Structure 1
Amino acid sequence: MRIALLAPLPPDQTGIADYAAHFSRALRALGIEVLTPLAGCHDPSEQQARLHAFDWSSVDVVHAELGGGRFGEFQALTYLSQVQPQMPLTATVHDPERLIWRRAKMFWPLTWLERLPHPMPQAAALLADPLTLREERQLARRMSRLITLTQLGGDCLRVRMGLRSEQVAVIAHGNLPIPAVPLPPLEPLRLLYFGFIYRGKGIEDLLEALSRTLAAHPEHRDRVRLTLAGGTAPEMTFDPAGNYLDGLRQRIRELNLEGSVDWKLDLPSSDIASTIQAHHLMVLPYRESKKLSWLGAMRGTSGALSWANACGRGVITSNARAFAEEVSAGNGITYTQGNVDALSDCLSQLFLDPQRARQWADKASEIGRQRQWSETAKRFSELFDAAHRARPQ
């Protein structure tokens, strides 16, 4: 089988690019030929030229990765649904319950709003949303299959897009086959935030919660360490609101956490597994975007959660997105997003009973084995085969 993959790929620094790279390698290991006609293409006019030039009759299925605020893959699928109506089109939707959430280009008179200060661009997106949603639904209903990473995400996508149940499939985020490493000694207790480091990830909540927990249990101050690890995309870290990393460092000083926090910035991919396994568990304090809540509910998951399972480490996570579903097997616990006291309570429980980290790690290891990319790729292969067989003749 030959598929055309429409997706960001490394060196793009996004979770979806990393996902697409692992996904394509796993498919190739099964003997599936994966072509990437838009690889490295960021210019809309160049993308259009490539779409016109590519021989679509040479592939059996087109698959896209949708999400992360990108528009190119959505626009390419829209084009193909019109000019190649017999072609089976599938996509993994990383940010359900919507496909793209906002339009790539506004129409007049909303275009001038985009040039004005906040909150005018957000108002433009909100005013254009009925048209955006209509375009999303039109494409979604033409798709052979839409895949989500969680059941909650699939249910929300199906309802919001008005899809038939057979159009939506759930295939959990794949995991790399990482050799098991026992937990480090439980003292000091090592906590890890892993992911891109920019506003909206709730990192400030984690620092505040750790400060409150250590104030309530001062005897643990020298027995707990937190590592902040991950990527620092410049366009997100250095924004109009100021240098976010400098702001975090200032907050750490204000909370008297300088002796408790370590940094591992721009972590090389080769060091991710060893870094995670050098810790006892991961803490993901994500908050859902208040801006996006006007447009719908984001019910995706996180690549960091996938890494935790692959490395056999549990998680403490907020209940944002579909995280509660992801830790429902006993591989961690959730708290109400944005509730610093609730997060502090979770940390206190762990400090007083660190054996919980072992229990969560055991469950995470089981999940990691079940979701290895080799097994995930087989499920996609079966889905692609079914979509190809159902192709109108």
Structure 2
Amino acid sequence: MKIAFLGTYPPRECGIGIFTKNLFDSIIPNSSTANTSSRAEIKPLEGYVVAMNDHDNTYSYPGEVKLTIRQEHQRDYLEAVKYINLSGADLCILEHEFGIFGGQNGIYILPLLHRLEIPLIVTLHTVVERSSYTEKAVLMQICKMAYRVVVMSHKAIEFLVNLYGVPREKIEFIEHGVPDIHFNQEDSKKEFKLDNKKLLLTFGILSRNKGIETVIRALPKVIEKHPEVIYMILGKTHPNVLYHSGEEYRTYLQLLVKNHKLKDHVVFLNEFIGQRELFKYLSASDIYITPYLNEAQITSGTLSYAVGVGSAVVSTPYWHALELLAEGRGKLFKFNDSDELSTILLSLLDNPKDLNQIRKKAYDYGRTITWPKSGEKYLNLLKEVLKANPEVIFKPETLIDPLLLPPFSLDHIVRLTDDTGIIQHAKYGIPNLKEGYCLDDNSRALLMVLMSYCQTKDKQALKLAPIYLSYIHYMQNKDGTFRNFLSFSRDFLDEVGSEDSFGRTIWALGYLLANAPNDAYYQTGRLVFFDAVPNFEKIKSIRGIANTILGICYYLKTNPSDDAITETLKRLTGVLIEHYERNSTPDWPWFESLFAYDNGILPLALLHSAELLNDEKVTQIGIQSMEFLTEITLKDGYLSIIGNENWYKQGGERAMFAQQPLDALAMILMFQQAYHITREKEYLRKLFSCFMWFLGENDLRMSLFDFETKGCCDGLESYGINRNQGAESSLAYLISYLTVLQAFERIEEKELVN
């Protein structure tokens, strides 16, 4: 039988990775820790690992790792499940922790699990009592698809049954395994030059919830009586914390040590060490401390290790500690209570007999949870599942297939961008500096990189954002309007830009205010946005109005109590409705007497406005106009855009060529919003059909995406493809791409409530 293991894995520095490695070694034959007594009925047993990579980091994995998944890349999950299904694996074991999978609350793992064609066992490393809607829904969906759910504490069983509705018979209790490694305390102390010292130890990945400051505040009283005490904080900062906040927490702790004059008694070892070295430190310690700040810790591998090696543990009463330290296997102190901690530490240091009794009880219990014993329990579970041969029921409908998409790349956008902004045009794939910059494209570029960062946490996208935001700020006039064009030599080429460029800028700024990656960007965006507000109601162009409506709607989603902007939204929406009522007829339900450019933006704006205003009439007109546009452009099963040569006048013939990527983008966004407010799956199918226009499902059956440059060609012409790859077309492609991925995610989210 073959087992697929899915989780983080060494050398990635992650506690769950170590767990996955220990589990793999305790189950698969020919490993140093493998126990063979229960294998007779399931021989031959082999396995491999699918490893989760954080962000875009790569690692030199051992041979058992056959495939990796980049955390924020949806297509990687789908490629992985295809590999697993075709690998001959009979069963998959998933190590689940919300933070190691991509998307909101790790939702990206669901498409993989939905498509898994073999039975699933999941080990839950986190089960929370008070979860967000999505956290709860994701966990419930995973438990629904799993044949067995393994937890490591009785509290987790209680939560799963009472809060998540998981049948009790589906849940298996297997305690966190402990490596069977032993060192002599005296020898270990000598090796670390800690002779004649009393070592207090905390280890693990550092983050604010660890509560190490509680220990530091407790030390002065302890050291006053026991100056031989050394407190060692062993561990690197959590990668996610490092990614977002750097070493802020470690610096705070170091300042605390300095202020309490403890520099000779506190040691920081900023390392992620191997298991053997870790167990030497544990063996050398006199007291192990876990000072977590709240009870919501359902499993702690560090605590299991400390008990397993026979440490005298002093801990706050979080859930796992309450269970593991029961019956005298450790001491508990109240959260954030440095005084009580001082008292307990002094009592233990003053009474070696009590200390040794705790150590013995912990050690005796630790013998029952070594990895060979935990691995044996997993083997018995595997036997049960494989004998039952459960049927895999769930097969999702394929409305969107991300595997048809080329890999996402910002290469061409980086090529077009300098320290001023994004260059407007290109000759083939090379920036055309003669044409300079424009506001439209820098606004689109800001929207795209913000979408990219929100969805994929792409650092490169985040680095580009201030360039485009600075361009927008630079081009704003004192009255809040904007110039549009800037030469390559940074000379203004107009006094006031078009209303379309104004509206697109408000759209990007509104999106920024709803999705700002940090406060500096938010404050700058807010300043520019509100300087522009007095001009909102001066706009006459219906496309300028439509783009402005989109920006207002994004702003109001996070600022719903802004009554003045809400009133502006109502008035601008009223202008679009008035245009529709004035020009529409029973056989021409449209806003003008012709289809021109960027047509989908008009229904799109109404559908966004309808969501916020909850206005049935606005919804109805948005849907009617959308359906009419769909009838004209999607009637043959693929997108055929109204050409910009002569457009399509009522009663006339439609232009076929000068089809622009901007129109495809508007259609894609329109169908995404239609699905969002109606939940009708057919809109997702149409959305994906429109995206495939970029990849060759169009009137010329030619791809506009250039697989070499990673740019998008400027349009379909009567002579073929316009091979120039300017900013507008490439940004339209990338925003469309990100919209498809977001729509795919929403399909998976919808399954959560079914």
TM-score grouping bracket, smaller chain normalisation: 0.7 to 0.9
Which one of the candidate residues 157, 164, 173 is aligned to 1:154? 157
Aligned match of 1:50 = 80
Distance 1:324 1:186, change over 3 A: farther
Aligned match of 1:173 = 176
Q: Is the 8 A contact 1:13 1:233 kept in 2?
A: no
Between 90-99 and 334-343, report the one with greater CA deviation: 90-99
Distance 1:198 1:145, change over 3 A: same
Which one of the candidate residues 198, 202, 207 is aligned to 2:207? 198
How far apart in 2 are the matches of 1:241 and 1:36? Answer: 30
Aligned match of 2:68 = 40
Report the identity percentage. Answer: 22
Q: Is the 8 A contact 1:309 1:364 kept in 2?
A: yes
Alignment of 1:102-251 (within 5 A): 129-182=132-185, 188-214=197-223, 218-220=224-226, 222-233=227-238, 235-237=240-242, 239-240=244-245, 243-251=248-256
Q: Report the CA distance between 1:55 and its aligned residue.
A: 2.9
How far apart in 1 are the matches of 2:385 and 2:259? Answer: 56
Partner secondary structure for residue 315 of structure 2: strand
Q: Report the CA distance between 1:12 and its aligned residue.
A: 1.7
**Counterpart residue identity of residue 33, structure 1:** E
Aligned match of 1:317 = 315
Partner secondary structure for residue 200 of structure 1: helix
Aligned-CA RMSD value: 2.7
Which one of the candidate residues 378, 389, 392 is aligned to 2:390? 392
Partner secondary structure for residue 275 of structure 1: helix
Q: Deviations over 1:309-340 (max 9, x none)?
A: 23221210111232110111422111222222
Aligned match of 1:273 = 279
Q: Report the CA distance between 1:202 and its aligned residue.
A: 0.3
Partner secondary structure for residue 169 of structure 2: helix
**Corresponding position: 1:89 with 2:87:** no
Partner secondary structure for residue 154 of structure 1: helix
Q: TM-score, normalised by structure 1?
A: 0.81
Distance 1:304 1:337, change over 3 A: same
- Structure with the bigger percentage of strand: 1
Q: Report the CA distance between 1:341 and its aligned residue.
A: 2.3
Alignment of 1:353-368 (within 5 A): 353-368=351-366
Which one of the candidate residues 255, 260, 263 is aligned to 2:265? 260
Distance 1:279 1:132, change over 3 A: closer
Distance 1:375 1:32, change over 3 A: farther
**Counterpart residue identity of residue 5, structure 1:** F
Distance 1:82 1:301, change over 3 A: closer
Aligned match of 1:65 = 95
Partner secondary structure for residue 234 of structure 2: strand
Aligned match of 2:415 = none
Q: Report the CA distance between 1:370 and its aligned residue.
A: 1.2
Aligned match of 1:114 = none
How far apart in 1 are the matches of 2:352 and 2:302? Answer: 22
Q: Report the CA distance between 1:267 and its aligned residue.
A: 4.4
The unaligned stretches of length 5 or more in structure 1 are 102-128, 289-296
The unaligned stretches of length 5 or more in structure 2 are 29-33, 37-43, 52-66, 392-754
Structure of higher RCO (CA pairs closer than 8 Å, 6+ residues apart): 1
Q: Report the CA distance between 1:351 and its aligned residue.
A: 2.8
**Counterpart residue identity of residue 82, structure 2:** H
Distance 1:78 1:243, change over 3 A: closer
Distance 1:45 1:279, change over 3 A: same
Q: Report the CA distance between 1:81 and its aligned residue.
A: 4.8
Between 131-140 and 333-342, report the one with greater CA deviation: 131-140
**Counterpart residue identity of residue 24, structure 2:** S
How far apart in 2 are the matches of 1:273 and 1:132? Answer: 34
**Counterpart residue identity of residue 255, structure 1:** H
**Counterpart residue identity of residue 228, structure 2:** R
Distance 1:370 1:202, change over 3 A: same
Aligned match of 2:349 = 351
Q: Report the CA distance between 1:53 and its aligned residue.
A: 3.5
**Counterpart residue identity of residue 19, structure 2:** Y
**Counterpart residue identity of residue 328, structure 2:** G
Q: Deviations over 1:6-28 (max 9, x none)?
A: 11101221111111111111111
Q: Deviations over 1:255-307 (max 9, x none)?
A: 1111211232204214111111111121010113xxxxxxxx73422111122
Larger Rg: 2
How far apart in 1 are the matches of 2:241 and 2:108? Answer: 26
How far apart in 2 are the matches of 1:194 and 1:375? Answer: 24
**Counterpart residue identity of residue 204, structure 2:** G
Partner secondary structure for residue 123 of structure 2: strand
How far apart in 1 are the matches of 2:296 and 2:375? Answer: 25
